[in-house]
Structure 1
Amino acid sequence: MHRDEILTRVNTVKDDDWRRPGPTPEQRRLDVYAGLATVALALVSLTLARSTGTFLLGPPPSVPEQVFWSVAVTLPMIWRRRFPAATTLVVSVAFVAAQARSAPETQLSQWALFAAIYSLGAWGPDRRLARRLRIGVIVTMFVWLGVAYALSLDDIPPDAFADAVGPVPPVLAAIVGGVLVNGLFFGFAYFFGETAWLAARRQHEVQERAEELRRSQAEVREHAVVGERVRIARELHDVVAHHVSVMGVQASAARRVLDKDPTKARTALGAIEETARTAVDELRRMLGVLRARDDEADRADQPGPAAIDRVTAVVDRAREAGLRATLGVYGDRVPLPESVSQSAYRVVQEAVTNTIKHAAGATALDVRVRYLAHEVEVDVTDDGRATRPANADGLGLVGMRERVATHGGSLEVGPRAGGGWRVRARFPLPVAAGRPA
């Protein structure tokens, strides 16, 4: 997968299909500390309420019961992220029961209820259950609010709204104000919880895409390494195999005529020396390209823009190896792209090397380069017989096939009908290089 494909891929995962991972051990410890701190603050708030006599819900129960309800509403905060649904249920039930019993502590209890609803929205693993439970709790709270208003109407003193001067009836104004405040309270608890969950999901998606991108980059690097190894292997095979094969033939000829004809032996040894020097030069040039940066390698990609013209040297070495080698160039020459020129040259070099190494009884070699209307073709034939079947997995044939396939060309390798062996490759020419037929 390419980097652009990863970055532009549309995420189709539904909300209900993703589960937020549970809290980390560090987050659990923080919840314990925060929960205990909330309990302590609730007890402080209870003490202050009793000290000021602020009993808004009516006559309070006994002191132990007041402490019990303060702890019952706030202590579940210890488990708000581990068990958000259970925490919300316990806090909601304890909150309603504490209000029904006229427990004076309301400040911390309200914030504990807010935190419970928020935590269920932010951490609830089952989104459907989390939504239904939160909506159920909020509806229950409004029902309880209505019941509390209904029960308190008879207890309102006649002079409670003696100073009211607004256009709205006092009781209606009090009810509407309470509904608005509670609506904002529960609405923000629901909204912030949902937002926290969505933020966690987006972060998870970003991390997944980053991981996919890292894997993709690792695959690209691995493919690049493999491609470079293949390139090195192909170049080494093309350079070394050809020249070593020629040197082997020349050395064998020198050994046979060393005593009978020293002049021919010296000629063969001179050819070996020249071939070795050429091989070293090509190896040095190839290693220099491999060490260069990519842009330098592209400019110095050996054997060069005129590589096809060096086919003459390959044919000359075939003659030195004892073959009657001929070279024919047909059609009007056109400048070839560097990569096409190099690939055509390497195909000819490999075909000639195979003739020298494997064609038993070969005496003639014919190399032809044809400049066609929209293609350049190289054709190498000999009159020998193969000493072994063509190996489709051999480095030479694989290298030729890869070079031709890189340019979208075609390759034919096999015996000829009249005897001998043929290697023919065709490379399409760019529009700028091609000519009308």
Structure 2
Amino acid sequence: MEGWAVDKQSAVEGWQRPRPDARRLRIDVGIGLVVTAMTLLSLTLTRSVGFYAFGHPPTLFEQVLWAVLATLPLCLRRRWPDAVAVVVSAAFIVGQVRHAPEQQLTSGALFAAIYTLGAWGRDHRRASWIRGGIIAAMFVWLGISYLIALPGLSAAEFADADGPVSPILASAINGVLVNVLIFGFAYFFGELSWIAESRRQQVEAQGAQLLAAKEEESARTVLHERLRIARELHDVVAHHVSVMGVQASAARRVLDRNPAQAKQALTAVEQSARTAVDELHRMLGLLRQGDPGPEAADAAPAAFGLHRVAELLDTVRHAGLETSLGVFGDAVELPESLSLTGYRVVQEAATNTLKHAGATKLDVRIRYHADELELDVADDGRGPARRGAGGLGLIGMRERVAAHSGSLETGPRTGGPGFRVRARFPIPRQGGQAGSPPKPVSLPSASV
């Protein structure tokens, strides 16, 4: 019972049972008419037998009146459960006061009215009070009826009694127990129906919320996938196309006076095109995967990472920039997704330098601190201030860095011309053991 009370309390808060639909209302009308007809039949049979358990009956009109008033309102039991319960209980009590002979089906109608009020009452607190008041009135009338009948009882009426309990006391106890069971069941099953319906409604509401959350998550997944595709396309295409453009321009300028240098530039264009195609194939392979996770594009490929930054700078050198690479600190094994993100940051910074900076030098430094990886890419360009926060490349860089809980700084270099991109990432120590500490590396400067 304690668990049932807790469930009831959790169901009561803020919930009202919806009104019945038209089909249920039509069913109620049919049930009410059938019960009323059967009650009148029962009244007819009772009068035919001549058995009047409650004393001399009233007139036929009054007998029919109380029988109809106690049953016909059931036609509206779920439309107006409060009013029906009050009318049926009042007609039942008055019918007993007036010694109406039909009490069998009218008792069932009273049970149904109390049950319906508990199951379908819109204001459940008020329904509880009304049911409690009806049940209390019934027991008050039961006590009054015993007090009225007590003076007229004689020992001759209990001539066959042989139990240990006084006949009058036994009769009173039996009447109370029967009524407790009848009204108790009506109250209990009404509550049970109301709680079951409230739970069903709550489950449906939670299901709708889960469905909406799933649809929202699907929309977020689609958006994330679009961003991932855009980021990959930018990273794959922008760098190599920029290098190809610079090399093709150089080949055009020196084609007549220095065919050998033009051939070298065209070879670099060819290599960049092949590399771009290879990366596009890799990216398309990832996009064909069924339901890749948010970091699938970063975690799946091991072909690119910080270990290939030197190769990246070779292509930049062939495009006409002097480059240098320095690696400092004790290198540790990085997750593939973090290594790829670092590679993409350097790649995007180098691409921006080629496209916009008008620079002659590019300096890349990779620093392994105690618990942090730092990437520092700086050039000496004097291009326009177009590399602020608005470009798609920088937006993609920020998204990649943020995905690894890192920070990104972009802006003019201090103490001289040029632009700097600096990214910092926390190093996850559980990913592996620290590698052998590398010596600082500096690639020689070169130019086409």
Match runs of 1:166-245 below 5 Å: 166-245=163-242
Deviation of residue 298 (structure 1)? 4.5
Q: Which amino acid aligns with 1:389?
A: R
Match of 2:313 in 1: 315
Match of 2:324 in 1: 326
- With over 3 angstroms needed to count, the CA separation of the structure-2 counterparts of 1:42 and 1:11, relative to structure 1, is closer
| CA distance in 2: counterparts of 1:151 and 1:12, whole angstroms | 41
Q: Secondary structure at the match of 1:393?
A: coil
Runs (4 or more) in structure 1 with deviation over 3 Å come to 10-14, 154-158, 293-303, 432-437
Q: Which amino acid aligns with 1:314?
A: L
Deviation of residue 434 (structure 1)? 7.1
| CA distance in 1: counterparts of 2:392 and 2:331, whole angstroms | 31
| CA distance in 2: counterparts of 1:94 and 1:11, whole angstroms | 31
Mean alpha-carbon deviation: is it higher for 272-281 or for 390-399?
Answer: 390-399
Match runs of 1:385-424 below 5 Å: 385-417=382-414, 418-424=416-422
| CA distance in 1: counterparts of 2:151 and 2:331, whole angstroms | 110
Match runs of 1:101-140 below 5 Å: 101-140=98-137
Q: Which amino acid aligns with 2:419?
A: W
Q: Secondary structure at the match of 2:157?
A: coil
Counterpart contact for 1:57–1:103, Cα < 8 Å:
yes
Of structures 1 and 2, the one with the larger relative CO (CA 8 A, separation 6+) is 2
| CA distance in 1: counterparts of 2:140 and 2:9, whole angstroms | 39
Out of 235, 248, 251, the residue aligned to residue 251 of structure 1 is: 248
| CA distance in 2: counterparts of 1:174 and 1:416, whole angstroms | 104
Q: Secondary structure at the match of 1:412?
A: strand
Give the alignment's TM-score, normalised by structure 1: 0.91
Out of 31, 42, 45, the residue aligned to residue 39 of structure 2 is: 42
- With over 3 angstroms needed to count, the CA separation of the structure-2 counterparts of 1:233 and 1:295, relative to structure 1, is closer
| CA distance in 1: counterparts of 2:333 and 2:87, whole angstroms | 85
Deviation of residue 375 (structure 1)? 2.3
Give the alignment's TM-score, normalised by structure 2: 0.89
| CA distance in 1: counterparts of 2:77 and 2:66, whole angstroms | 18
Matched, 1:429 2:443: no
Counterpart contact for 2:378–2:421, Cα < 8 Å:
yes
| CA distance in 1: counterparts of 2:144 and 2:78, whole angstroms | 31
Match runs of 1:365-380 below 5 Å: 365-380=362-377
| CA distance in 1: counterparts of 2:355 and 2:360, whole angstroms | 13
| CA distance in 1: counterparts of 2:261 and 2:287, whole angstroms | 39
Matched, 1:52 2:29: no
| CA distance in 1: counterparts of 2:22 and 2:298, whole angstroms | 58
| CA distance in 1: counterparts of 2:258 and 2:13, whole angstroms | 91
Counterpart contact for 1:375–1:434, Cα < 8 Å:
no
Deviations 1:208-266 (A, max 9, x none): 22222112222221211111111111111111111111111112112222233222222
Deviation of residue 47 (structure 1)? 2.1
- With over 3 angstroms needed to count, the CA separation of the structure-2 counterparts of 1:302 and 1:355, relative to structure 1, is farther
Deviation of residue 431 (structure 1)? 1.9
| CA distance in 2: counterparts of 1:248 and 1:67, whole angstroms | 104
Counterpart contact for 2:388–2:411, Cα < 8 Å:
no
Identity of aligned residues (%): 55
Match of 2:446 in 1: none
Q: Secondary structure at the match of 2:156?
A: coil
Out of 316, 341, 344, the residue aligned to residue 343 of structure 1 is: 341
**Structure 2 gap ranges (5+):** 1-6, 438-448
- With over 3 angstroms needed to count, the CA separation of the structure-2 counterparts of 1:225 and 1:206, relative to structure 1, is same
Deviation of residue 12 (structure 1)? 8.9
| CA distance in 1: counterparts of 2:301 and 2:355, whole angstroms | 23
Deviation of residue 284 (structure 1)? 0.7
Match runs of 1:48-127 below 5 Å: 48-127=45-124
**Structure 1 gap ranges (5+):** 1-9
- With over 3 angstroms needed to count, the CA separation of the structure-2 counterparts of 1:245 and 1:295, relative to structure 1, is closer
Counterpart contact for 1:302–1:342, Cα < 8 Å:
no
Q: Secondary structure at the match of 1:333?
A: coil
Counterpart contact for 1:305–1:337, Cα < 8 Å:
no
Q: Which amino acid aligns with 2:317?
A: R
Q: Which amino acid aligns with 2:328?
A: Y
Deviation of residue 288 (structure 1)? 0.1
Match of 1:6 in 2: none
- With over 3 angstroms needed to count, the CA separation of the structure-2 counterparts of 1:197 and 1:338, relative to structure 1, is same
Q: Which amino acid aligns with 2:305?
A: A
- With over 3 angstroms needed to count, the CA separation of the structure-2 counterparts of 1:126 and 1:353, relative to structure 1, is same
What RMSD in Å do the two structures reach over aligned CA positions? 2.4
Deviation of residue 157 (structure 1)? 5.0
Q: Secondary structure at the match of 1:351?
A: helix
Mean alpha-carbon deviation: is it higher for 115-124 or for 407-416?
Answer: 407-416
Deviation of residue 145 (structure 1)? 1.4
- With over 3 angstroms needed to count, the CA separation of the structure-2 counterparts of 1:253 and 1:16, relative to structure 1, is closer
Q: Secondary structure at the match of 1:365?
A: strand
| CA distance in 1: counterparts of 2:150 and 2:271, whole angstroms | 116
Counterpart contact for 1:363–1:384, Cα < 8 Å:
yes
| CA distance in 2: counterparts of 1:80 and 1:162, whole angstroms | 45
Counterpart contact for 2:304–2:343, Cα < 8 Å:
no
Q: Secondary structure at the match of 1:159?
A: helix
Deviations 1:121-164 (A, max 9, x none): 11111222212211111111111112222222344355211111
- With over 3 angstroms needed to count, the CA separation of the structure-2 counterparts of 1:180 and 1:116, relative to structure 1, is same
| CA distance in 2: counterparts of 1:340 and 1:22, whole angstroms | 58
Deviations 1:286-324 (A, max 9, x none): 110121235798498454166111112211111111111
Counterpart contact for 2:78–2:116, Cα < 8 Å:
yes
Counterpart contact for 2:388–2:410, Cα < 8 Å:
no
- With over 3 angstroms needed to count, the CA separation of the structure-2 counterparts of 1:373 and 1:11, relative to structure 1, is farther
Out of 136, 139, 142, the residue aligned to residue 142 of structure 1 is: 139
Counterpart contact for 2:11–2:198, Cα < 8 Å:
no
Q: Which amino acid aligns with 2:311?
A: A
